[in-house]
């Protein structure tokens, strides 16, 4: 648990492994949703996961902070293996931030209270300090002036930026994005992507499930294509988009780049 600003990670540390998944399987009842996933993510790496709906990409990143339980294989996050041990789950969740498709801000709390809730109750940060940290991050996502408003009073793009700030307030080492722009009106997508690009440039380890291929080209070190619960192909963005290997990848790319 480093209290230091983990997002400004020097390049020399990038050889450290942030997430290690070995032979991970998951079933929803009879449905085999993740099949033999092997994935290693280095600290500071930025990964974009894409694939058709139902391919298991959301499930995969939700396994990393144990919102979903895997049934076989091993997941190690920042040196801690995820088991049913609640202490390990707690410590992993403190290090991993997550941004959801539908924002999931707490509607009964103001923007500022949304950002300070976890620092105050989980990290036991004094309120004044937590508010200072929150204002720093709200400024970073460019909405400090909305701090006293309630989520219901903000636009979708603003809400998603608050959600990102809320995660950052816990000073996570790894950020997970689960289709962060899919529920947004087109004109608001770029304001959220800008924030994510800024975060990527600061050296944050990121795993993003998204269909924003422009974002993938711009910031990703690696693009992963999933279909039917399997990782079909992974490559750097240049190779992935210009020279896809598998037929399924080619079909998918032709479908989403078509329009």
Examine residue 107 and tell whether it contacts another protein (CB under 8 A): yes
Query: Which positions from 109 through 128 interact with another protein, judged by CB under 8 A?
Result: 117-118, 120-128
Provide the pairing of β-strand 46-50 with 222-227.
Answer: parallel
* CA–CA distance, 135 with 129 (Å, rounded to integer): 10
- The two three-digit tokens of residue 55, written as one number: 């391919």
Examine residue 186 and tell whether it contacts another protein (CB under 8 A): no
Instruction: State in angstroms the smallest separation of the CB of 153 from another protein.
Output: 6
Instruction: State in angstroms the smallest separation of the CB of 101 from another protein.
Output: 9
Q: Site size for another protein, by CB under 8 A?
A: 36
Phi, psi of 226 (to 5 degrees): -115, 145
Examine residue 29 and tell whether it contacts another protein (CB under 8 A): no
Query: Are the C-beta atoms of residues 148 and 112 closer than 8 Å to each other?
Result: yes
Element spanning 18, H or E: strand 17-28
Of 208 and 213, which CB lies nearer to another protein in the complex structure? 208
Total Cβ atoms within 10 A of residue 174: 24
Query: Which positions from 77 through 106 interact with another protein, judged by CB under 8 A?
Result: 86, 90, 93-94, 96-98, 100, 102, 104-106
Examine residue 72 and tell whether it contacts another protein (CB under 8 A): no
Provide the pairing of β-strand 17-28 with 31-42.
Answer: antiparallel
Three-state secondary-structure class, residue 151 = helix
Of 31 and 106, which CB lies nearer to another protein in the complex structure? 106
Positions that interact with another protein (CB under 8 A): 65, 67, 86, 90, 93-94, 96-98, 100, 102, 104-108, 117-118, 120-130, 150, 152-153, 163, 166-167, 170
């Amino acid at each position: 648990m480093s209290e230091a600003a983990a997002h400004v990670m020097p390049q020399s540390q990038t050889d450290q492994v942030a997430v290690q998944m070995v032979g991970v399987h998951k079933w929803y009842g009879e449905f085999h949703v993740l099949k033999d996933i092997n994935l290693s993510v280095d600290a500071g790496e930025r990964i974009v996961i894409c694939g058709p709906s139902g391919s298991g990409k959301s499930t995969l990143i939700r396994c990393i902070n144990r919102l979903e339980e895997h049934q076989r294989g091993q997941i190690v996050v920042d040196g801690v293996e995820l088991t049913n041990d609640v202490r390990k789950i707690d410590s992993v969740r403190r290090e991993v931030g997550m941004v959801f498709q539908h924002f999931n801000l707490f509607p009964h709390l103001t923007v500022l209270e949304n950002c300070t809730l976890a620092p105050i109750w989980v990290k036991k940060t004094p309120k004044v300090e937590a508010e200072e940290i929150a204002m720093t991050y709200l400024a970073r996502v460019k909405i400090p002036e909305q701090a006293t408003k309630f989520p219901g009073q903000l636009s979708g793009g603003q809400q998603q930026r608050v959600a990102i700030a809320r995660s950052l307030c816990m000073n996570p080492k790894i950020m997970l994005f689960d289709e962060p722009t899919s529920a947004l009106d087109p004109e608001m997508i770029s304001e959220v992507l800008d924030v994510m690009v800024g975060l990527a440039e600061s050296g944050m380890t990121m795993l993003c499930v998204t269909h924003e291929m422009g974002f993938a080209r711009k910031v990703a070190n690696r693009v992963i294509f999933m279909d039917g619960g399997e990782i079909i192909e992974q490559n750097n963005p240049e190779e992935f988009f210009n020279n896809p290997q598998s037929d399924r990848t080619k079909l998918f790319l032709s479908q989403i780049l078509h329009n």
